[in-house]
Homo-oligomer: A and B are copies of this chain.
Amino acid sequence: METATATLDARRARIPIALAAGEALSPPGGAGRQLLVLRKGWAARCHRLSDGRRQISALFVAGDLCDPLWLAGTPHHTVEALTAIEAVPIAESELQPRGEGPADLVRELAADVGHAASWTVSLGRKSALERIAHLFCDLLVRLGRSTAVGRSCPLPLSHDDIADATGLTAQHVQRLLADLSGAGLARVARHKLSVPDFARLARTARFDLADVPRRPDWLARV
Contact A73 B111 (CB under 8 A): yes
Q: Which residues of chain B are within 8 angstroms of A199 by Cβ–Cβ distance?
A: none
Contact A113 B117 (CB under 8 A): no
Please choose the segment from A8-16, A17-25, A64-72, A172-180 that sits at the chain B interface, where 4 or more of its residues have CB less than 8 A away: A64-72
- Among candidates B71, B111, B121, B165, residue contacting A72 with C-beta atoms closer than 8 Å: B111
| Chain A interface main SS type | helix
Question: Which A67-125 residues sit within 8 Å CB-CB of chain B?
Answer: 68-74, 76-77, 92, 96-97, 105-107, 109-114, 116-121, 123-125
- Among candidates B47, B73, B121, B166, residue contacting A117 with C-beta atoms closer than 8 Å: B47
How many A residues, CB 8 Å from partner?
50
Interface string of A181-222 (1 = CB under 8 A from B): 000000000000000000000000010101101000000000
**A147 near B: Cβ within 8 Å?**
no
A113 to B70, CA, bound (A): 10
**A155 near B: Cβ within 8 Å?**
no
Q: Which residues of chain B are within 8 angstroms of A125 by Cβ–Cβ distance?
A: 47, 49, 53-55, 164, 167
**A58 near B: Cβ within 8 Å?**
yes
Number of copies: 2
Q: Which residues of chain B are within 8 angstroms of A49 by Cβ–Cβ distance?
A: 121, 125-126, 206
Contact B114 A117 (CB under 8 A): no
Q: Which residues of chain B are within 8 angstroms of A164 by Cβ–Cβ distance?
A: 124-125
Q: Which residues of chain B are within 8 angstroms of A5 by Cβ–Cβ distance?
A: none
**A50 near B: Cβ within 8 Å?**
yes
Identity of the chain B residue whose Cβ is nearest the Cβ of A67 in the assembled complex: B113
Among A96, A105, A117, the most chain B Cβ lie within 10 Å of the Cβ of A117
A106 to B57, CA, bound (A): 20
Interface string of A146-158 (1 = CB under 8 A from B): 0000000000000
CB-based closest 5 A-B pairs = A124-B167, A116-B116, A71-B110, A72-B110, A109-B109
Q: Can you add 10 more A-B contacts, CB < 8 Å, to A68-B110, A124-B167?
A: A49-B125, A50-B206, A57-B120, A68-B113, A71-B107, A71-B110, A72-B107, A72-B213, A109-B109, A116-B120
